[in-house]
Amino acid sequence: MTHINTPPRMGRRSFLRMTGQGAALLTAGSAVPWLSGCGTGSADGGSGGGRLTVKLAWIPNAEYAGIFVGAQDGLYGKQGLNVDILPGGPNSAVVPMVTTNRVNIGVEAIPENVATAVARGAKLKIVGAGLRKSPESWISLADRPVKHPKDIEGKKLGITLAGKNTALVFMKRNGVDVGKVKLVPIQFDPAPLAAREVDAIWGFASNQPVSLELRGIKTYVMPLADFGFNRMQSVFFVSEKTLSDRAARERARKFMAGSRQGWEAALRDQRHATDVIMEKYGAKLGLKPNEQAKSLAAIAPYVGAGGGSKASAAPGSEGLFWMSDALIEETITSLTSIGIKLDRSLFTNELLGG
């Protein structure tokens, strides 16, 4: 019932960018197989049940493990839902499909994509944070680690075009003399770091370090969130029309409940979650079990974190996806600093209760 047929390409959140068969598959642009994620509810929408479609930001991988476990283990079915999971990929934007109500719920990699659409008139609300701590990080080699922002001074840093603005803002906010830093344009491949051509690279804690570890290269990860620059990521969002319709709102609430349970199960039994990923589409996509397992282990702390700072990194009592006042303020502050307009009205926890 779930249709996944979008050909993948290189993208900033893919876990296949840098390793062997996965990288070859992306280059080749092979089609993604179909995934069936169905529950046991009827399609008539009675009692808040029925069918619901969720659109992902990228191709199926460990980043969405909780959703896949929710589908495979029947957790959505127990909520009375049939859930169709649509993947992301090249030229496959999430926001327009939610804005026009072609899908019920979207999962967007970064909140600024939703905030920008709202600033342009879209009627959307962010209803949950899949990652409550941003995995954006400076990544260095373990034998010459960059542990603190001031350590950046005098260093040669590999930076992607997508990350340059964020990196510059982060450095200025942490008192780094940017004039003492040499920025080297790179792609997402961590090869320049492995070759010691740069001292650190900008990337994601759940991505480049995993790729390098699989090559036997140990790294040190310095999350931006640990030094005052955090924003929630992998956000769930819906249209205001969904929230205003009683039956649609109840289906969305049930989906969020099933997704929470799916992520709780995935974090509790990561081997099972990896098996679900691989058994459904892993072999056809060129995914590697050890890569997915390590990616899931690396991203797990960012799913369960209660906030961005070191002091608030413990899970909150409200459960996964909950957007605390502190996290919302961190997100607003960080996005405002890179020129994104938004306010607290963009966020609501109303689908996470009950």
Instruction: Give pTM, 2 decimals.
Output: 0.85
Domain 46-133+232-352 has CATH 3.40.190.10: yes
pLDDT of residue 304: 86
Find, among 77, 9, 65, the residue nearest to 37 by Cα. Answer: 77
Q: Tell me the average confidence (pLDDT) per consecutive run of 10 residues in the chain, 354 residues long.
A: 33 35 32 42 44 92 95 96 89 92 96 96 98 96 97 96 91 95 94 97 95 96 95 97 97 97 97 94 83 96 70 58 96 94 96 82
**Model pLDDT for residues 251-280, shown as the tens digit of each residue:** 999 999 999 999 999 999 999 999 999 988
- What per-residue confidence (pLDDT) applies to 227? 96
Residue 266, both tokens: 């995935």
pLDDT (tens digit, 9 = 90+) per residue, 280-314? 877 778 889 999 999 999 999 999 876 544 434 44
Question: With contact defined as beta carbons under 8 Å apart, do 233 and 303 qualify?
Answer: no
Is the separation of the CB atoms in 196 and 190 below 8 Å? no
Strand, helix or coil for residue 107? strand
> How far apart (Å, rounded) are the C-alpha atoms in residues 111 and 340?
10
**Sheet with 124-131: strands ordered across:** 81-86, 50-55, 105-108, 233-239, 124-131
Q: Determine the pLDDT at residue 12.
A: 39
Residue 29 amino acid letter: G
- In this predicted structure, what is the pLDDT of residue 51? 93
Q: Which CATH number fits domain 136-227: 3.40.190.10, 3.40.50.2300, 3.40.50.10490, 3.50.30.30?
A: 3.40.190.10
Query: Domain ranges in the chain?
Result: 1-39, 46-133+232-352, 136-227
Is there a common fold for 46-133+232-352 and 136-227? yes
Please state, in angstroms and rounded to a whole number, the distance separating the CA atoms of residues 337 and 171. Answer: 12
75: phi then psi, degrees, rounded to nearest 5: -70, -30
Q: What is the pLDDT of residue 46?
A: 38
CA distance 181 to 156: 6
pLDDT for 332: 97
Rounded-to-integer distance, Cα 333 and Cα 344, Å: 11
